[in-house]
Each structure stands twice: as C-alpha cells, then as structure tokens.
C-alpha cells in the first residue's frame, strides 16, 4: 500500500521527470565530451564550426535563454492552475499536476539548461587556462537541444491553451471516472444487504492518521482474518474522512466466550489494506470524479458566474458516468471463507448514492433555470434506459420527480414551469413502468 501510495504521488510530482532529465543531460554531456571527431569524419561538416570562444558564448546564451523560458513555462502552468481552481473547482488541480505534457516540456527545458551550463566547464577551458580545443560534438548537441526546446515551447503554448478549456477538462475527468469504473471497482461479493453490526465484544482498530480513505483492498485482509478466526468490518468507504484514533475497522470472534482478538497482530494488516491520505485520489474513488463534475456545474450555476451552458455540459458528462455505473454491481463488498462464513465486510456506495451525488447540487442550484432542468431530465431519462435493474430505474425516477418538485417551487412563470413539471412526471412514470 505504501508503494502504491508513493507511485500515485510520484505521478503527480512536477519535479520527478525534470530531475531525471537533469541526470540524463549530465550523462549525455559527459559521453559526448569524451568523443573526439576528427576533420576527416563524415559528420564533421554538420558540427559546430566556430572557435572555443564562440562555443562558450553560444552556451552562455543558451543557458540564459533557457532560464527565461523555464520561468515562462512555470508562470503559464501556475496561471492554468489558478484558473482551474477559481473558475472550475479546486479539486481539479491534480488533473493539471499529473499532465504528462507539462512534465515533459519542463524536463526538456531543464535538460537544455543543465546541459549547456555544464558544458561551460569543458569548452575552451582546461586546468584553469584557455585552450583552443573543445568537444565540437557536445556543443552541436546543445544547438540541437535549443531547436528542440523551441519546438516544444510552441507545442506547450498550444497544449496549455487547450488544457484550460472547460470541454477538455470535463472530458479528462469523465475518462478518468470511466477508467476507474472499468478497472478498479470491485465486482465480486457485492451485496446491498444491511451491514453487520459489531457485537458488544468487538474490538476497534483505530485509524493510524487523519485524512481521506484513498484505497481499500479487502482481499488483503481475508486470508489473515481467517487465520485468526475473526470477522473484520471496515467502517469508512473510499473517499470518506477519518480522524486519527477513530475506528477504522471492527474485529470480533464468533462468540463472546472466545478470547479477544490480538489487535497488535492484526492492526498492521488492516492498516496495510486501508490507505489513508491527506487528499482524495482517483484510484478507486468514482465519487471523486463525480464530485469534480458536479462542482464545475455548481460553480457555473452560482450567481457570481451565471454560466448555465457549462452546467448543462457537466450534466451531460455526468450522464455518461452514471450510464456506465448503471450496468455495474454496486454496493458493499462481502468476502467469505471456504465455509461461507463472513470474514471481511467493506462498505461501498449504491447506485442511488451516485445518482444523488451527480444530480442533487445541479437540481438545487439550477432549479430556476428551465434549460438546465430540461437537460437534467433528458440525462436521467437516458441513464434510465441503461438500468436493467428495476430498483435502479426507480432511483432515476425518484431523481426525476425531485427535479419536477424543484421546478414547481423555483420557477415563477407558468410557461417555463409547466413543461418542466410535465416532462419530469412523464420521465418518472415511464421509468417506474
């Protein structure tokens, strides 16, 4: 779990790839400096033809230029982060920090700067004295890196201008949520029954730190719990917040006559199966992606922004995520041993929870805008067509009925209100049939 947490952090670390580029630039520079290209070599006409002083001046110029470009790139990246945080949602910052293009572009610029600056130690100077010989191949490589940096800079401006567009952001969040649904959601042992209640002799495993539950792997617990003849019930769901010392899981034996479980022997396994971090991540948390899209819609529908069309777009992307969830087994995960006895219980969200999370804020903040409610009803009607389960269709029908109630209370003019209430009534009735 620590390794996966470190891996997730490093994917969003803006410094890791540039650090690797620094090491690579120094290694390439050391290799090319040791290569002596004679005047009869086939590539000699392609190499730098100036003197040692010309080469040093060139490297100094490249180094100074790269410092300016790096400052420009960092400035544009910070502007993109600020725009996404203030205009869309602060929970979108991870989307930009994990952007591989931004990391790669910064790495190219840093590598060019380090390569050119390190070359000043070997070009035109030897033992503290000026010399005429210098590694022409290494200096030529600095020129090639300069042209590569120019191409990358133009592409970076193109990329950053597109990446801050709301359409690009919402598509990225949608793709991430769909990937989690297809790859990370549990599909075995899913149930919607009541959660087992810890008996009086149950013992709590306290949370080892405060933060959000990022990942739960109940399969890591099942074997160890069975060895000790225990039942383990994990308390929080993925994405929920815990305070250090709060019960993370409950452990108990079959009867009160059995000896109490050894918390010291099993706590490390529980902590290894449930990772807690200071922020929510996209590893198993579909609700986090839904929250990001709902936040975009809520901010667009706020009186300070008044951008209902963005709210409608977010609703349409949320419909895609809900349609994918409609076909998946959702709920709590129960793992049993070979004898069918309960060993591990991990809570999960049901379909109704996802529907409320995706539509509740949009319904409340956009209650007075007919176009937003029309889009929301159309999305609910479409998602209902993907629900093969009658209970899930009823969840969608209930959400549609609440849209009609919101319109009935918030829209003043009957000409705007009546079509919404009629449409909501039709959608709810159709889904309940």
Helices (H), 278-389: 286-300, 308-326, 351-365, 370-384
Tell me, yes or no, whether 272 lies in a domain. Answer: no
Nearby residues of 174 by Cβ (< 8 Å), 6 or more positions away: 289, 293, 317, 320, 321
Q: Find the radius of gyration of the CA atoms of the chain.
A: 29
Tell me, yes or no, whether 140 lies in a domain. Answer: yes
Domain range for 420 = 179-184+287-331+350-432
Signed CA dihedral, 108, 112, 113, 118: sign only? positive
Tell me, yes or no, whether 61 lies in a domain. Answer: yes
The domain tally of the chain equals: 2
Q: Report how far residue 323's alpha carbon sits from residue 411's, in angstroms, rounded to the nearest whole number.
A: 29
The DSSP element (H or E) to which 251 belongs, if any, is: strand 247-252
Tell me, yes or no, whether 202 lies in a domain. Answer: no
Tell me, yes or no, whether 169 lies in a domain. Answer: no
Model pLDDT, residue 2: 57
Same domain, 159 and 14: yes
Tell me, yes or no, whether 172 lies in a domain. Answer: no
Last residue in a domain, options 164, 198, 225: 164
Model pLDDT, residue 1: 55
Same domain, 13 and 151: yes
Average pLDDT, consecutive stretches of 10 residues, N- to C-terminus, the chain (433 residues): 67 86 94 84 84 90 93 83 76 77 92 92 71 85 94 91 87 94 92 89 93 93 89 95 95 89 86 91 93 94 91 97 96 91 94 97 95 97 94 96 96 95 96 89
Contact 92, 85 (CB under 8 A): yes
Contact 381, 317 (CB under 8 A): no
Specify which residues 276 forms β-bridges with. 213
Tell me, yes or no, whether 341 lies in a domain. Answer: no
3-state secondary structure of 77: helix
Same domain, 151 and 294: no
Tell me, yes or no, whether 196 lies in a domain. Answer: no
Same domain, 295 and 154: no
Could you give the C-alpha distances from 94 to 81, 203, 272, in angstroms and in order? 9, 37, 24
Strand order in the sheet with 203-206: 190-191, 332-336, 342-346, 231-234, 247-252, 203-206
Model pLDDT, residue 342: 92
Model pLDDT, residue 171: 94
Model pLDDT, residue 44: 81
User: CA angle, corner 285, sides to 284 and 290, nearest 5?
Assistant: 145
What's the predicted TM-score (pTM) here? 0.86
Same domain, 155 and 294: no
Specify which residues 336 forms β-bridges with. 342
Same domain, 160 and 305: no
Last residue in a domain, options 164, 195, 210: 164
Could you give the C-alpha distances from 80 to 77, 84, 102, 373, in angstroms and in order? 5, 6, 11, 31
Last residue in a domain, options 101, 134, 164: 164
- In 139-208, which ranges are E strands? 190-191, 203-206
């Amino acid at each position: 779990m620590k390794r996966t947490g470190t891996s997730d952090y490093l994917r969003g670390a803006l410094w890791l790839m540039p650090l690797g580029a620094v090491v690579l630039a120094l290694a390439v520079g050391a290799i090319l400096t040791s290569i002596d290209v004679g005047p009869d070599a086939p590539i000699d006409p392609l190499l730098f033809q100036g003197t040692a002083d010309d080469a040093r001046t060139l490297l100094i110029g490249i180094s100074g230029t790269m410092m300016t470009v790096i400052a420009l790139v960092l400035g544009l990246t910070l502007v993109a982060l600020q725009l996404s945080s203030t205009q869309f949602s602060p929970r979108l910052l991870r989307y930009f920090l994990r952007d591989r293009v931004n990391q790669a572009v910064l790495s190219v610029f840093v590598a060019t700067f380090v390569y050119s600056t390190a070359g000043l130690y070997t070009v035109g100077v030897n033992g503290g004295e000026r010399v005429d010989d210098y590694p022409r191949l290494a200096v030529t490589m600095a020129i090639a890196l300069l042209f590569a940096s120019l191409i990358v800079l133009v592409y970076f401006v193109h990329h950053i201008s597109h990446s801050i567009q709301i359409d690009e952001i919402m598509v990225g969040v949608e793709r991430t949520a769909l990937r989690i649904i297809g790859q990370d959601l549990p599909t075995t042992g899913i149930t919607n029954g009541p959660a087992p209640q810890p008996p009086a002799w149950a013992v709590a495993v306290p949370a080892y730190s405060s933060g959000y539950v990022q990942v739960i792997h109940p399969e890591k617990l099942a074997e160890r719990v069975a060895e000790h003849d225990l039942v383990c019930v994990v308390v929080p769901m993925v994405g929920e917040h815990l305070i250090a010392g709060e019960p993370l899981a409950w452990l108990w034996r079959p009867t009160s006559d059995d000896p109490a479980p050894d918390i010291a022997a099993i706590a490390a396994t529980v902590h290894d199966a449930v990772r807690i971090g200071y922020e929510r991540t996209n590893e198993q948390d579909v609700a986090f992606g839904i929250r990001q899209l709902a936040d975009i819609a809520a901010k667009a529908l706020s009186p300070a922004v008044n951008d209902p069309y963005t709210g409608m777009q977010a609703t349409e992307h949320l419909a895609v995520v809900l349609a994918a969830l409609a076909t998946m087994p959702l709920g709590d995960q129960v793992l049993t041993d070979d004898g069918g006895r309960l060993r591990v219980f991990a809570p999960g969200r049901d379909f109704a929870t996802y529907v409320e999370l995706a539509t509740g804020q949009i319904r409340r903040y956009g209650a007075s805008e007919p176009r937003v409610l029309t889009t929301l009803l159309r999305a609910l009607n479409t998602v209902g067509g993907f629900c093969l389960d009658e209970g899930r269709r009823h969840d969608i029908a209930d959400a549609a009925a609440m849209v009609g109630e919101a319109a009935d209370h918030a829209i003043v003019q009957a000409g705007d209100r009546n079509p919404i209430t009629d449409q909501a009534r039709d959608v709810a009735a159709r889904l309940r049939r």
